[in-house]
């Protein structure tokens, strides 16, 4: 399933649902991210998650490859996943300019 054209843009905040694989250290857990193909380790100091539990990872979109249907999300490191595994949290809105870039002619 390919993503619809324009459904994600660079700068959008997106969420990925990952599954906990195991606890690596006291404050880190290994998670499995759908369509990523490699284990990923995240910091988890606040809660005690268990094996098999689903956890939501939130990051910003840094690259969109519409032909391949993949996007790159910054989760501390860049993670390339299929676009249909993501959920949009907030759209990126560029900042509004208060003053024009060009000075007025004198």
What is the distance between the alpha carbons of residues 31 and 70, in angstroms, rounded to a whole number? Answer: 20
What is the distance between the alpha carbons of residues 48 and 105, in angstroms, rounded to a whole number? Answer: 62
Residue owning tokens 């694989």 = 21
Q: 39 and 31 in contact (C-beta within 8 Å)?
A: yes
| pLDDT tens, residue by residue, 74-97 | 998 999 999 999 999 999 988 887
Q: 33 and 72 in contact (C-beta within 8 Å)?
A: no
| pLDDT tens, residue by residue, 5-61 | 448 889 999 999 999 999 888 889 999 999 998 888 988 877 778 889 999 999 999
Q: Burial letters for 67-104: b for 16+ Cβ neighbours within 10 Å, e otherwise?
A: eeebbbbebeeebebbbebbeeeeeeeeeeeeeeeeee
């Amino acid at each position: 399933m390919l993503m619809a054209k324009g459904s994600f843009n660079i700068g959008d905040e997106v969420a990925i649902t990952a599954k906990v694989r195991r606890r690596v250290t006291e404050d880190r857990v290994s998670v499995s991210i759908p369509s990523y193909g490699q284990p990923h380790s995240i910091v988890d100091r606040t809660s005690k998650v268990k094996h098999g539990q689903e956890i939501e990872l939130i990051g910003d979109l840094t690259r969109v490859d519409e032909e391949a249907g993949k996007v790159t999300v910054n989760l501390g490191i860049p993670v390339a996943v299929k676009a249909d595994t993501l959920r949009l949290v907030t759209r990126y809105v560029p900042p509004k300019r208060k003053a024009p870039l060009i000075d007025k002619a004198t």
